Amino acid sequence: MQSDYQIFKLGWLAVLPLTKDAIHIYIGFVCLLVALILFRRSLTSYAALVPGLLVSLALEVLDLRDGFGWLASLKDVVNTNLIPFVLVLLARWKTFNVS
């Protein structure tokens, strides 16, 4: 029997024309935008990465509880947080600020 969380997740996957990996990437980017807009964090702040990290860890705790493996969970955490992390690093290195 599947948990309510897994049924919820499969319902979203049935509606959205995206793979599981792509959804994790979108979740990470949305969490970064939430941190930047709602919490008024700067793109150069590592604190902007905290919401995405917390959300990805919470989702993976639920997946691990339902019997998914550690490697799949690690891949999902990386997929969720890699692009926001790279954007913050680029902003900190002033790659976008040509003066």
Domain residue extents for the chain: 4-92
pLDDT tens-digit profile of 83-92?
999 999 999 9
Name the burial class of residue 75, with classes exposed (0-12), middle (13-18) and buried (19+) by CB atoms within 10 angstroms of its CB.
Answer: middle
Tokens of residue 18, six digits: 């995206």
Average pLDDT of 6-22? 90
Q: Chain-wide mean pLDDT for the chain?
A: 90
